[in-house]
A and B are shown apart, each in its own frame.
Chain A
Amino acid sequence: MSATPASGEVDRWRALMRAARLVSPRRGQLIFSIVLGAGAILAAVGLLAVAGVLISKAALQPEILTLTIFTVGVRALAFARALLRYGERLVSHDLAFRVLADLRVRFFERLIPLVPEGLRGVRSGDVLSRFVGDVDTLQDLYLRAIGPPLIGILTIAVLAVAVAIVLPAGAVVLIAGMLIAGLLVPALAARAGRRSGLREAPARAQLSAELVELVSGAGELAVYGREQQWAQRIEMADAKLAATERPGAWISGVTSGMGVAIGGVAMVAVAAIGVQATADGRLDGVLLAGIVFLTIGAFEAVVGLPDAAQRLTACAQAAARLESITEAPVPVSDPAAPIPVTIGGSLNFENVTVRFEGRAQAALSDVSAAMAPGSRIALVGASGAGKTTLASCAVRFLDPSSGRVTLGGTDIRELSQDALRSAVRLVSQEAYLFTTTIAQNVRLAAPEASEEQIIAALTRAGLGPWIASLPRGIETLVGEEGAEVSGGQRGRIALARGFIAPSQVVILDEPTANLDAAGARDLLSAIGSERSDRRAMLVITHTVEGLEEFDEIIVLEAGAVVERGTWGELIAAEGALARLSAAA
């Protein structure tokens, strides 16, 4: 998954180019902030240079009035500097916020087609660290990685021309010094920091993941007396991270020292050249101090460059890591010309077989089922029997390896995914509760739903008395990822989404997972007997009590249908269902 250093090099910069293009509509604002930034530096440098000329002229003890233009000029430059800097900061910060929002949106959009099948095997701590951290890193791309070099180039160009007019050799020193400080040193620093930088990101992700584990597993660690060991594990992960960060500290120290040294040497060199030129009469003596002062000030333009180089590298790595996630093959795609969904048709599975890469046994083999409008079908079987895989096929989270799923006679691969998912609604086992109110969480499934409809759906899901007991009713917050509600309540809120959804087919994956036996039975028999709407319902369950009224019960074992029929038929047959029922 992680790019190897050698082959990853080109890929990283390509990824960075692609990431830069994501936010390219902001180019105009970037140019504006660069012009303001360069202007601010030039004003400060100009101030020093003009002040140098001013006192050099004063040393010749002329009439005070002849100096007025210089004293006014110095003050004007002081004002210009302050205003340009203020403007630059406002424009660049505004740009940063816009870019961050752009990046979040763009990367979220890229993630959409991948979920859930395209993201198998990515640890939650990693998603956290990668998607939050890397996207945050990329927000620096324009402002702190690309901006400073451009400001530097612009400033160098203007200053070099100004110096070249009066002291060509001085201009050569200035350009050489600024190129060394601005390009060579950062390039060397980036080169030196690359290896440790490459190791830093995984070490950081590792530490994040370890901490996520620690936070969620703290109770078990305490009960099993392993606090010490795990504190050590975190310490080790942190030490590993520290070791990868240490070279960076030395490198940035050397870079920072080099910056001062190069600026200082350039200053001394320009002073030496200027002294000789003055003695030779090639340079007007009043300009000598100005030229030297300008050289001192000029290096402000390249001060930020080493940091920019580091950020550029960090951005490239972040972009590459983001791509390693978002460039995963898209498991399903929309047809070129989607067919509109037929209203009132049935959902049929026709000889559906699913094989996962690297697994010998098919997850589903040759499963067929028909779900007419208004029907109630139960899919029963042990965990790992392939029930959830079948549900995933129905909403095109994945496509069958062979066979097909049809809605109203049309292969669902001919429909747009959006249209399909509003017609066939899946309430999955891992239904997620968002950090908001109960009402908003239910409304997710039906944005137009009224408060009454939401309460009705929650009541049908068995939460009526609980909601009534809450002081704020359906406006109660559920906490982070639903942490403030119990597992059972969480499942039932998700269930209410299924009930309220304006869809033709509802698939409920393990709606009874967190319910007690009586609750599970009541819920299933209510679904079986409640036939007021014309929607087809497919219930995936491992608890079988309460399925008496269902039109068909399909029992899956190891991906294959082992028996099917009504409750009565299957119990009479004394087969798999009868065994499951007896075990409960």
Chain B
Amino acid sequence: MATRAQSAPRGVDRRLFRSTRSARVPLIGAVALGVATSLLVVTQAVLLGRVIAAAFPGGEELSEVSGDLWILVAVVAARALCAFGFETSGRLGARRVVGELRGGLTAHMLETRPAGLRGQRAGELVTNAVQGLSSLEAYFARYLPQLVLAVVVPVVILIYVFPRDLAAGTILLVTLPIIPLFMILIGLAARTATERRWRTLSLLSAHFLDAVKGLQTLKANDRAQRQVETLRETGEQYRKETMVTLRIAFLSSLVLELAAMMGTALVAAAVAIQLINGGLEFSTALAVLLLAPELYLPIRMVGQQFHASTDGLTAAQQCFELLDTPAAVSSPSSPLPSPNPRDGALVLENVSFAYEGRGEAVLESIDLTLTPGEQLALVGPSGQGKSTVAALILRLLDPQSGRMLCNGVDLLEVDPKDWRRQLAWVPQRPTLFSATLAENIRLGRPEADNAALLAACADAGLERLVDSMPQGLDTRLGEGQRTLSAGETQRVALARAFLRDAPLVILDEPTAHLDAESSAAIGDSIARLSQNRSVLLIVHRPALAAAADRIITLREGIVVDGQAER
């Protein structure tokens, strides 16, 4: 991981331009503007040299140079337009690229990793997608233009200088390669430094977030003040470490700055000698001197913008890394039509599963059969893989080995989306989306009418909650709005399942957060829900498991009590 991280942004820019269509427009724009700017820079220097030389030692009046001065104003206006173009087209272009990457990222998450990001930090993902990718703006609006100018401007300037002053041209030509050399050094050093800074920053961010989210727990344990110290110490330690890296990283830009400045100083001296020897026109000498700093400027700016640009590239890199992770659930290229759990049994044969990067299997060769209309209870202590069985049947995860069949059709041969249409699911910790209560319940059947919605609410025991809400079913949930308790959230998820009206229902601890009385009430609704349907009930409450047709016990990933008929 460490070696990969170090070289992270390398090649990312290439991939960015190759795979992100919207990235090409700002690139082409930058090249066109770069060429125009270079020509304007030289024109401006030549005109200014002529004006000054005309007055001294030429001794001309203002009126005699006014023509050149007006052309200069026009050149200035054209340069201003180019600057406007670089910034605006860069920023707008960057925004389209960011949009494309964000869209790709969410689509990828939903399509291939619906079970979530195990081991990946969800907070980091979101920070990266929102804050991190925004830094690409600096790459397109600041870094890319300078990069183009750094290539075009020196060429145009050297073409002008060489025929006019060989000595100055040679100085420029000799000092110029020193700069790319140091650019590479800077690139390497700054890359390491930026990488490090970025990773540590997001680590510190995560640490800060951890502390903020856990503050209540810290406070209850009288540890909040201690955490303040920890935050201070971590920040201080990070500062010291990073400064050591930066001291070296900045050293190479010191050399670069020195080369550019000394280059200008040497050109001034060389031009002065040429003038004394009478080998150069004064106006040309002025133009050459004016162009010397212009030659180095874009290269120096590239160095300055490098940090800002790598922030964006590193974010893009993390984005690509995520896009490259293999799908947690595969879709067949030529899918079979989905079987209906009403028509035939759902059979798991020898199914094993282990999470990526974790050696021990969560499930080991389990067998399980769910016949149409059957209520099967899956019981066992927590942490034994019960929810993983649900995720496999829901096709949120692919098993490592074994087969999953429904009515004799291998589910891996079926498009997961088609198969999921047959299912309803009440997860252990349901998510409430910021939308109205009705929209939340309609999640699985957006087209359901109000009567069906109310019936689902009644079945899930939600009526009292709905009545207590200011706008009833149209009450918005989420920020600044009413928040629901764990039990109420569970009921909303149950209502979703009722409304879904699917042939197979998976209930994962539907009553874990409910009190005994409500659980009993929910038990009745579950019994109602179970009519004419197959149900996989994951529970630890015997009162609920007792209502099932059959109970299977799962312990340490193995079915220990498979055939215990009730």
Contact call A101/B239, Cβ cutoff below 8 A: yes
From residue B112, how far is it (CB to closest CB) to chain A in Å? 10
Residue from B44, B62, B210, B514 in contact with A275 in the complex, judged by beta carbons closer than 8 Å:
B62
Q: Which residue of A lies closest to B500 (CB)?
A: A224
With A222-B110, A426-B220 given, is the CB distance from A215 to B276 under 8 Å?
no
Of the listed stretches A81-89, A191-199, A348-356, chain B binds A81-89
Known contacts A224-B496, A289-B52, A583-B543; A276 and B62 CB within 8 A of each other = yes
Q: Which residues of A contact B44 (CB under 8 A)?
A: 264
Which A residues touch B408, using CB under 8 A?
A: none
Q: How far is the CA of A100 from the CA of B82 in the complex (A)?
A: 36
Instruction: Flag if B257 contacts A260 (CB, 8 Å).
Output: no
Q: Is A515 an interface residue (CB 8 A)?
A: yes
In the complex, whether B336 has a CB less than 8 A from a CB of chain A is: no
Is B65 on the interface with A (CB-CB < 8 A)?
yes
Given A71-B272, A225-B421, check contact A275 B65 (CB 8 Å): yes
Separation of A136 and B394 alpha carbons in the complex (Å): 40
The CA-CA distance from A418 to B220 in the complex, in Å, is 9
| In the assembled complex, A425 has its CB within 8 A of some CB on chain B | yes
Q: Could you pull out 24 A-B pairs where Cβ atoms are within 8 angstroms?
A: A61-B275, A74-B265, A82-B258, A104-B231, A115-B219, A121-B480, A136-B205, A215-B122, A216-B122, A218-B109, A225-B421, A258-B80, A260-B79, A261-B79, A264-B75, A275-B51, A275-B60, A276-B61, A381-B515, A397-B219, A444-B221, A513-B512, A516-B380, A581-B516
Question: How far is B520's CA from A544's CA once the two chains are assembled, in angstroms?
Answer: 14
In the assembly, what is the distance between CA of A78 and CA of B260, in Å? Answer: 9
Residues 476-491 of chain B: 1 if any A CB is under 8 Å from the residue's CB, otherwise 0?
0011110101110000
Known: A57-B272, A480-B206, A580-B516. 6 other contacts (CB 8 A): A55-B271, A56-B56, A254-B84, A261-B76, A425-B220, A584-B519
Size class of the contact patch on chain B: 35 or more
The residue on A at minimum CB distance from B217 is A432
A583 in contact with B85 (CB, 8 Å) = no
User: In whole angstroms, how far apart are the Cα atoms of A71 and B218 in the complex?
Assistant: 65
Set of chain B residues within 8 Å of A472, measured between Cβ atoms: none
CB of B95 within 8 A of chain A? yes
CB-CB < 8 A to A292: which residues of B? Answer: 48, 52
Q: Which residues of A contact B117 (CB under 8 A)?
A: 215
Q: Which residue from chain A places its CB closest to the CB of B205 in the assembled complex?
A: A132
- A256 with B512, Cβ < 8 A, contacts A78-B264, A79-B258, A223-B394 known: no
Answer whether residue B227 sits at the interface, using C-beta atoms and an 8 A cutoff: yes
B208 at the interface (CB under 8 A from A): yes
Q: Are B211 and A428 within 8 A (Cβ)? A: no
Residues of B within 8 A of A279 (CB): 55, 59-62
9-residue interface stretch from A6-14, A105-113, A153-161: A105-113
CB-CB under 8 A from B121, the residues of chain A are: 480
Indicate if B278 sits at the interface (CB-CB under 8 A): yes
Contacts of A231 in B (CB 8 A): 103, 106-107, 110
Determine the chain A residues whose CB is within 8 A of the CB of B129 once the complex forms. Answer: 211
Inter-subunit contact B257/A89 (CB<8 Å): no
Interface of A: prevailing SS: helix
Of B126, B141, B262, B430, the residue contacting A128 (CB under 8 A) is B126
- Interface residues on chain A, number (Cβ under 8 Å): 174
- What CA separation (Å) do A238 and B221 show in the bound complex? 40
Q: Is the CB of A313 closer than 8 A to any CB of chain B?
A: no
B39 CB–A CB distance under 8 Å: no
Do residues B212 and A127 form an inter-chain contact, with CB atoms below 8 A? yes
Contact with A along B66-89 (1 / 0, CB 8 A): 100100110111011111111111
- B271-289 CB mask vs A (1 if < 8 Å, else 0) is 1110110100010011001
Cβ contact within 8 Å between B218 and A444: yes
Q: Are B114 and A221 in contact (CB under 8 A)?
A: yes
Q: From residue B40, how far is it (CB to closest CB) to chain A in Å?
A: 10
Judge if A357 is at the interface, Cβ distance under 8 Å.
no
Verify if A62 is at the interface (C-beta below 8 Å from B): yes
